[in-house]
Structure 1
Amino acid sequence: MLEHGGNLRDAARRFGRAAEDWLDLSTGINPRWYPPPPLAGNAWHRLPEADPALARAAAAFYGAPLMLPVAGTQAAIQALPRLRPPSRVVVAAPSYAEHAHHWALHGHNMRQIAYADLDAAVGDCDVMVVCNPNNPTGASVPAERLLHWAGQLAARGGWLVVDEAFGDTAPLGSVAAHSGRPGLVVLRSVGKFFGLAGVRLGFVAAHADLLGALADLLGPWAVSGPAQQIAHAALLDRAWQDATRERLLADGARLSQLLKQHGIEASGSALFQWWPEAKPDAFWLHMAERGIWVRLFQHAARGIRLGLPPDEDGWRRLTLALNEWSKDKQ
């Protein structure tokens, strides 16, 4: 398996510090998650039939014509390459590594292309995969350009797959509203904005025929009953959503400003900041020795990614560690 953030057990084992003593900034997950409501008892007992109300709530929240609930967008990332014959696939790079990994596993001719070169690559592929906004760099592609690419690909039976897992704080960049057209596939996640990564739930927006094929491939009972009930409540809670979006945008700006005060020019989204650190291994170790777990990228997008601290104590710990890093560099 590929390496990901959130691996606190690895941190605890490697550095001899209990998991609860770490400040985990290694993911881009909202550190103040949606409070799950009490669950109906049958959520644990009944086989989890697909709930049409959940799909409708997701379609309303994300602005899509149709949505298929899946066990995290990871399930769709792994399944989509199996729905096509061998194809020429371009994956925007650097980006979430699972996309390239799984397209390469299923007989496709997969290439990774820099964001700046995607426009020139559309004419030479059958499938293009773009994270928008990108994880980890925060790069984004205007919706108008994505829709233009989608039209080009669809005209020859191709797909544009847009992973909008970090799009909830930038809704104007979404193309989910256009996903009813053939050839456009949009992935959304409740793990990031809602902070509910543990429920393993995401959604796919696409043409009805493609969603039907994907549902058949994933099989029955793809999403647990508790996950369906929790997500349904979260998707309908507009007051929580509005307050959270405002807070995340403010905290994202605060993190960006804090890094600038230490000479770090970062990019990212409301949920994380990334930069091509000159000494990423040393920075990662400096933070780990102080109980702060950050994401070290050693290959593609070589650098550091920081998520948001959950509270003022977390902000103080991060600020102190950055002060010490700056002093050590002098």
Structure 2
Amino acid sequence: MTAAPDWNWHGGAVEAAKRHFGGGNRPWLDLSTGINPHCWPGADTIAIDWHRLPEREALAGLEAAAAAHFGAAPHHVCAVPGSEVGLRLIGRILGGAAHHVAPSYRTHGEMFAGTAPIARGEARAFAGTLVLANPNNPDGHVTDTASFDAMLAGREGWLLVDEAFADCDPAASVAHRVQDEAPLIVFRSFGKFFGLAGVRLGFVIAPAPVLAPLRALLGAWPVSAAAIAIGAAAYRDRGWVEAMRERLFGEAAALDAMLGRHGFAPKGDCPLFRLIDTDDAYDLFDRLARAAILTRPFADQRRWLRFGLPGSGEALDRLDAALAYD
């Protein structure tokens, strides 16, 4: 079958899947995204003052809390209404030509007016402006420290690192290396690790000369009062963050074991999702969708299928049963 553009473009297209596949009254199991199925639990308990505009001091507090979480200096951190917006605005601010490591997140190829894909093996020696994700989406590859050292040494262009999935393992991050003198910009997402994608909150970590025009474009109120309050509290909840990191790696190992029992070799170092390579990826996507389980296919990589974490033993068992059905 030919998958509809809705679920080829991004994860989370459950309503489009319902319209296409039906499924009756069965609840859908959405494994199409890399969003943590376990939301940070404090969001519903925070009182939001919807009557007032966000205060400058509250925004600064959010950015300071995020900076401490990232290991970056607060004056290098700028809140944006989702990392997607940050990526696109920085591309416009920097301008010029760029390359993006492929395969990767689709927006990386749309940030600059002139951009071209480059293979991961060529990125280490490439000196021009380069966009890459770490961990990478969709294959979960993590770029090692030595490679980043090589890419930053004697750099002629910018190195733009999308760390949307880096919260699971802080050792993968280079946010702490952002300086005013370094050609390095890092992007972070709040919603993926904290399971609150609807908050629409992200961050650009960049040299001050880059953040100045970015803040000018964003204006006085770049994010909502709810994003400020929820984000600041969540980033300060160190106990939850550490416990969740351990939990996610454990659940990813259980998903790996289950997929392995069905003959698949899952790959990826990000515990929020796993990618498999199989001859019948589209047939498998179709079969799972008809069982009301949505996964993530790729129009340009028809052997690939990505699975998000099921989030519970019951959901894992449901996926297990659907994969066993012949």
Instruction: Report how many residues are paired.
Output: 313
Distance 1:91 1:289, change over 3 A: same
CA distance in 1, matches of 2:257, 2:48: 46
Which of these residues, 137, 140, 151, is aligned with residue 138 of structure 1?
140
Query: What pairs up with 1:78-157 in 2 under 5 angstroms?
Result: 78-87=88-97, 89-103=98-112, 106=113, 108=114, 110-120=115-125, 122-123=126-127, 125=128, 127-153=129-155, 156=156
- 2:324 is aligned with 1:316: no
Q: Which residue of 2 aligns with 1:168?
A: 167
1:311 Cα deviation from its structure 2 partner: 1.5
Q: Which residue of 1 aligns with 2:307?
A: 306
Per-residue Cα deviation, 1:84-127 (whole angstroms, up to 9, x for no partner) = 2422x110000011110232xx2x2x11012122123x13x2x1
Structure 1: segments with no counterpart, 5+ residues: none
The SS at the match of 1:34 is coil
Counterpart of 2:133, as a letter, is C
In the alignment, the residues of structure 1 paired with residue 202 and residue 209 of structure 2 have an alpha-carbon distance, to the nearest angstrom, of 19
Please, what is the CA RMSD of the aligned residues?
1.8
CA distance in 1, matches of 2:233, 2:53: 20
Instruction: Tell me the equivalent position of 2:3.
Output: none
Task: Select the residue among 17, 36, 39 that pairs with 2:46.
Answer: 39
Q: Deviations over 1:130-155 (max 9, x none)?
A: 101100001121123213312332xx
C-alpha distance in 1 between matches for 2:140 and 2:119:
13
Using the TM superposition, give the Cα deviation of residue 300 of structure 1 relative to its aligned residue in structure 2, in angstroms. 4.3
Answer whether contact 1:72 1:201 (CA < 8 A) is retained.
yes
SS in 1 for 2:257: helix
* Amino acid corresponding to residue 142 of structure 1 in structure 2: D
Q: How does 1:180-259 map to 2 (within 5 A)?
A: 180=179, 181-259=181-259
C-alpha separation in 2, matches of 1:301 and 1:282: 10
Q: Pick which of 202-211 and 91-100 moved more.
A: 202-211
User: How far apart, in 2, do the equivalents of 1:85 and 1:232 lie?
Assistant: 32
Q: Is the 8 A contact 1:37 1:233 kept in 2?
A: no
**Are positions 1:22 and 2:32 aligned together?**
no
- Tell me the residue number matched to 2:82: 72
Quote how far apart the aligned CAs of 1:238 are: 0.8
TM-score when normalising by structure 2: 0.91
Provide structure 2 residue ranges, at least 5 long, that are not aligned to the other structure. Answer: 1-5
CA contact (8 A) 2:22 2:290 kept: no
Question: How much does 1:280 deviate?
Answer: 1.3
Shift of 1:183: 1.0
- AA matched with 1:229: A
Give the deviation of 1:256 after TM superposition.
1.1
* Cα drift, residue 218 of structure 1: 2.3
Code of the aligned partner of 2:33: T
When the two structures are superposed, what TM-score results if normalisation uses the length of structure 1?
0.90
Q: Is the 8 A contact 2:78 2:205 kept in 1?
A: yes
